[in-house]
Amino acid sequence: MHIEQLQINEIDDLYRVSSVEVGQHSYWQIGDFQVHAQVLVTSRVVIAILLALPVAATRNLQAIPTGSQNFIEYVLEFIRDLTRTQMGEEEYRPRVPFIGTMFLSIFVSNRSGAPFPWRIVQLPHGELAAPTNDINTTVALALLTSVAHSYAGLHKRGFSYFGKYIQPTPVLPPINISEDSTKPSSLSFRLFGNILADELVVAAPVSLVPLIVPVPMTLLGSFTSAIQALISATLAAAYTGESTEGHH
């Protein structure tokens, strides 16, 4: 009976963490489940933007890139160099699509909640917020990084990948395993906390001085969004590169 009560308390604690949010949000009731409509809608908008931009920019490819093609190529070179720096010349190429998708999706998601300093977009029930302002989104992104990290290690080194848990001495598996298990929570709460703080900082001046003051705050928010996307992508590349390294 005590064990069952403990399990129920643990489930309740996880539920309270997964429901962390600030502001009013829209929900859809589907049967017995409550779906976070706001995150679902904005996430689909982010996906549409990420699909539409490269299609529009590469519709008329030129040998000497100009305009949007030049911008897309610059972004791709930036992501490629970032991945190569973290993973090395031999391992980076197959991981560029994942790291690039992680960087771009997080950056666009971060800005989708506050694209303008004024609340131009209003929802029937709630307010527009970034998908990364929801802890469930950031946890999902962190878990994807963990899956990519483990897959890269297993694909490169086979079952010898698990040998890292007994390095440098066989008495360290609990510490090494706990280190890997804390990476998703660290990634998820870092991104969630920073985007949450960013939206709160922007929301305060919007409500007090809605005409002029929010503009520099929004520019600061754009810088914060880019930095957080860069940190998340860099850590994802670093963790993946670490998993493919051999131990001697």
Tokens at 65, concatenated: 């890139």
Does 13 have pLDDT greater than 60?
no
In a domain, 1, yes or no: no
pLDDT of the residue at 70: 83
In a domain, 3, yes or no: no
37-41, 53-57, 149-153, 213-217, range with the lowest pLDDT? 213-217
Peptide bond into 168 cis (omega under 30): yes
SS3 state of residue 91? coil
Between helices 37-57 and 96-112, what is the axis angle to 10°? Answer: 120
Please compute the mean of the pLDDT values over residues 12-21 and round it to a whole number.
Answer: 45
List the domain range (segments joined by +) for residue 216: 31-243
28, 32, 46, 119, 182 from 125: Cα distances, Å: 11, 20, 21, 14, 35
pLDDT of the residue at 246: 55
By the 10 Å C-beta count (0-12 exposed, 13-18 middle, 19+ buried), 226 is classed as middle
Tokens at 67, concatenated: 């305009």
pLDDT of the residue at 41: 80
Residue 213 one-letter amino acid: V
In a domain, 135, yes or no: yes
In a domain, 4, yes or no: no
Residue 80 one-letter amino acid: R
pLDDT of the residue at 225: 85
In a domain, 5, yes or no: no
29: part of which helix (H) or strand (E)? Answer: strand 27-30
In a domain, 90, yes or no: yes
In a domain, 51, yes or no: yes
pLDDT tens for each residue of 186-230: 888 889 888 888 777 766 666 666 666 666 777 777 788 889 999
pLDDT of the residue at 14: 41
CB 39 within 8 A of CB 130: no
pLDDT tens for each residue of 140-179: 899 999 888 888 888 887 877 777 777 777 777 777 778 7
pLDDT of the residue at 88: 82
The Cα 31–Cα 173 span in angstroms is 44
pLDDT of the residue at 106: 92
In a domain, 17, yes or no: no
pLDDT of the residue at 81: 92
User: When comparing pLDDT for 113 and 180, which is higher?
Assistant: 180
Dihedral sign for Cα atoms in the order 213, 203, 188, 122: negative
Q: Taking the complete model, does pTM exceed 0.85, yes or no? A: no
Please compute the mean of the pLDDT values over residues 30-59 and round it to a whole number.
Answer: 80
The Cα 154–Cα 161 span in angstroms is 6
According to DSSP, residue 36 is labeled E
Tally the domains of the chain: 1
pLDDT tens for each residue of 94-136: 889 999 999 999 998 888 766 555 455 555 555 667 888 888 8
The Cα 181–Cα 177 span in angstroms is 6
pLDDT tens for each residue of 58-94: 787 777 777 778 888 888 899 999 999 888 888 788 8
pLDDT of the residue at 8: 46
Q: Which residues contact 114 (CB under 8 A, 6 or more apart)?
A: 128, 130, 198, 199, 202, 218, 221
